[in-house]
A and B are shown apart, each in its own frame.
Chain A
Amino acid sequence: MGPRPLLKVAGALAFGGVTLAAPSARALEAEVTSDTAAQAYSLRSPFGDPILFRRRVTQTLGVGLYSLLPEERPGGPQLFVKLRVRLDADFGVEATERRYDAGAAGTRFTPGLSDAPLDLMYGYVEGRNLAGGWLGVRAGRQYVVDSLGWWSFDGALVRITPPYVHVEAYGGFEQRGGLPLSLGRFERGGVSRGDRQSTLDGSPDAFRHFQQAAMAPAYGVAIESAGPTWIHGRLDYRKVSNRGVATTNALPDASGAFGTTSGTRTSSERVGYAVDGTAGRWGAARAGIVYDLYNRLVSSYYASVDGFVTRRLTVTADYDMFRPTFDGDSIFNWFTHWGMKTATLRAALTVTDRLDLAASGGARWYQTDDDPAATPVAATGVVPGGGGGVVTSNPEANDPHSLRDWLGAANARYRWDSARVALRGVFETGDRGARQGVDVSGDKSFRGGRFFTLARASIFDWRDELRPDQSATSVGYVLGAGFAPAEYARTRVEWEHNTNRLVGQRYRVLAWLTLVAAR
């Protein structure tokens, strides 16, 4: 099924839901939301040239239709439709960046770049607490947030919700860049996909890393505890497959040809489990783990223990590991890389019901297959200029070492009913560089939110050990003001000014308009 038929099915379901509910239309609630954000700023290459001028207007339109069932009540059967579309126009894209012209000198074509992509962020019809509260369904483009991450697909989800244990199953197609009304935000990394056919169809050997997008079947199941409020756990499994033709050889073979492969193959297959528990007034704990069945390794895990030392003081120990894994089509899964581990201790203090403080510090460490600080290690492979002989490497003989960064953070926040002041400080330092800084921000609304002001000031310093010429100190500020001319409209304008020795002065202007209509 192609993307357009799928959207038609989702639309038909939504329309059907509305139509079926028509007899009880007196209960219908509708909401239309429009957000417009215009921003202008420049982006300079680290080499000074080119400078990209970004003049972007992002327009989102949200529609919600609620209470489609007769006499809906809180906690009872519920049927509604939600939809949100977005147009992200960048008026700073030049024509030579959009059009591929192999013969043109100085072409700056960037594969996948679109100057005004339109995407359906989500659009679904959902029923909750159906069949006596034991059933929930959702059909259309939707998000899934679970131990495996933040993900989006087009399809259907069914949730069985008896007491104690809930079961969820879903299936459809992963949202993929290059397909209609879709972006690549939710794909696994390591692969660049898009609409290659319409931009590079006549040049099969150009930009071979840029793969043609195709529908990617996906399904998943989850089991989740329900009922007790002091403990909760969720087990997730999800598999996504790649289909269609993919280019293979990055380099031409002896005959000068490039290869392709096709068929159904694994994109990702992972299982994750997360659990949390609270022990009354003593503390809480949570933990999670993700196993990548394709890579056959644990790709992340974490554990966090909170101690409620006093009514206002919480002390926390956190430990987490993250090892990047990529789409099954990506070569980067198979390059030597290890998990980055982080351990921190944290203290959070609620001084009053308005003032919160938090501070944390710890270490982050990572593994290398040899000690970078020791005697240089001879690499394996062909010796450059050595007659083409290949030396077989032996990674099993490596001598793993661990390197470490130190990090810390501090946060403070004071809240009034109509205002807020916050302070944030961070530092991290290690053998690859350092970063530290602080920013202070505040906002205040007046006259019941009719007027709004904000300000932010910051100073950050960073040191790049690999490229010392890219080290700098940055000072910046933001000023903003807003006005709500009516209950259904809000406007806001922000001005940002930063300065550092690398880019000199940088300015950014941002304007917002939000409109809400509800009935």
Chain B
Amino acid sequence: MSARRLLERGLLPAALVVGALSALSDGADAQPRWIRGPTPDGSPTPSALLPPGAPHPDAVGPSRVVYPAQQITIRFNHKKHMGELGMSCTDCHAEAKTSTKTADRMMPKPAVCDGCHGSKHDDLRAVAGGDAGFGSCDTCHAGWTPDRGNDVARMVLPAAHLRSNHKAHADRNINCEQCHGAVQELELATREQLPRMKGCFTCHAVAGPQKGKATSDCVVCHESVPDGRMQVTFKEGKLTPPRWMGSLEHGADFIARHKMVSGDNAKACASCHSESFCTDCHDGRVRPRNVHPNDYLSMHPIEARMNNPRCASCHQEQQFCLPCHQRSGVTMSGSPGALRKQGRFHPPASVWSEPPRTRQHHAFEAQRNISACVSCHTERDCATCHASAAAGGRGYNPHPAGFASRCATALRKNARPCLVCHESTELSTRCQ
């Protein structure tokens, strides 16, 4: 929403913020003021005339990344030409039926205009105007004045970052309006009339073999990089998915929520992101600051204890956490040299590990978040007390309620953990 619209709604503070930020913006349509827009009075294009899939109302317009900013310096009234004069789209845009790529130029050559307007564009260095009524240069070339001679404002129409194939669509009898909206009802056709992805999905999201070549694969329409992924980075910005597409919108907090998307549909992620994009954080060697903020080394214990499940998504406790904790002396089992000056990390043993259990007893901490224990402690630390007396421990039973019904299966699938704390003779009698 623009600052002007916010101001019109009385949201002065928001308008000031957006206005200030917009002032720093470095990319927008550079449309000269003397060009009239799609409607005679400058009002927004009615929703019904926009391309299929355009939102209602369309405050933002199509993607600035897919369709880079244009500078249109020609006045043209589609409604007059197509309505009053009965022309068709292809009378001017003949290449629209044969074009196979977006880089093709489909604007009519000036000679097409000459036929009716009486002008002569044969030699662009010496163009002659036509009749005074509708043949003068400024009829079409906005901003032109007689003293400028052949000098007309340059029109900039960058190619869309798509691989849209007009011919393929025309061959399937898809008419212009199905993608571009009701251009014949408008004066100037701007970027607003360029196809919207939601409209494309009317055909491209059809399931099953009947869809033919109109698949929903990203690279059917979008440009790709060599390994087949969709190209998402352009000098105009980055492409991100819209909300209506599987609720994949990459909002301000997406990084904290993306696991639900990737776990379900990793293929959707891989259509844009390479492995190295994921490994930079999930298997990286440089702390990603958008995940772990400044001074995370100091504050990681408190977050690890409160919300450890999140750590395990990137870090294997005994491989990543334990060696560092052993080196820095924050462990119970480690080399004597590293432990030599160790203080006590946990609360006093009288409340932390001795019975009876009080609020600060380690049992509750383990029940709440055993992953935090595993990031420092080896099994020997626990077995010292929790192993059976026969196996050299003190026999404190750490097993949960209902364990007895599962232990036989566990023993059958993997006896190793059982043997850490129990003698095999013990298991054969107790775990049937």
Contact = CB atoms under 8 A, between A and B. Distances in A.
Interface residues of B, number: 161
Nearest to A323: B309
Interface residues of A, number: 210
Going nearest first, the 5 A-B pairs with the smallest beta carbon separation are A227-B207, A476-B294, A284-B247, A381-B396, A379-B355
A354 B299 CA distance: 32
A381 to B, nearest CB: 3
Contacts of A372: 357-359, 361, 364
B208 interface: yes
B399 A334 contact: yes
B82 interface: no
A487 interface: no
A113 B396 contact: no
A189 B312 contact: yes
A108 B335 contact: yes
Interface string B370-406: 1101100011101111111101111111111111001
Interface stretch (B113-121, B149-157, B217-225): B217-225
B16 interface: no
Contacts of A43: 297, 324, 328
Interface string B105-146: 000000000000000000000000000000000000000000
Given A190-B318, A229-B201, A329-B417, A37 B410 contact: no
A396 B401 contact: yes
Given A66-B227, A265-B413, A335-B382, A376 B316 contact: no
B57 to A, nearest CB: 9
Contact of A146 (B266, B357, B365): B266
A433 B307 CA distance: 11
Contacts of B313: 149-150
A228 to B, nearest CB: 5
B205 interface: yes
B93 interface: no
Interface string A13-31: 0000000000000000101
B174 to A, nearest CB: 19
Interface centre among A352, A377, A391 (most CB of B within 10 A): A352
A353 B60 contact: yes
B301 interface: yes
Interface stretch (B33-41, B176-184, B186-194, B281-289): B281-289
Nearest to A352: B1
Interface string B221-259: 000101110000001110000011111010111001100
A445 to B, nearest CB: 10
Interface string B69-98: 000000000000000000000000000000
Contacts of A55: none
A435 interface: yes
Given A350-B251, A462-B299, 14 more contacts: A37-B285, A44-B328, A46-B330, A50-B327, A106-B336, A192-B322, A232-B265, A265-B413, A276-B265, A376-B357, A395-B399, A405-B306, A416-B27, A474-B298
B427 to A, nearest CB: 11
A271 interface: no
A121 B275 contact: yes
Contact of B299 (A56, A86, A334, A474): A474
A137 to B, nearest CB: 14
A294 B410 contact: yes
25 contacts: A43-B324, A47-B342, A52-B328, A58-B286, A84-B276, A110-B334, A122-B275, A190-B374, A208-B380, A228-B205, A251-B393, A265-B414, A308-B244, A311-B55, A324-B309, A334-B417, A337-B400, A352-B18, A366-B369, A379-B357, A390-B388, A395-B401, A419-B24, A422-B252, A498-B294
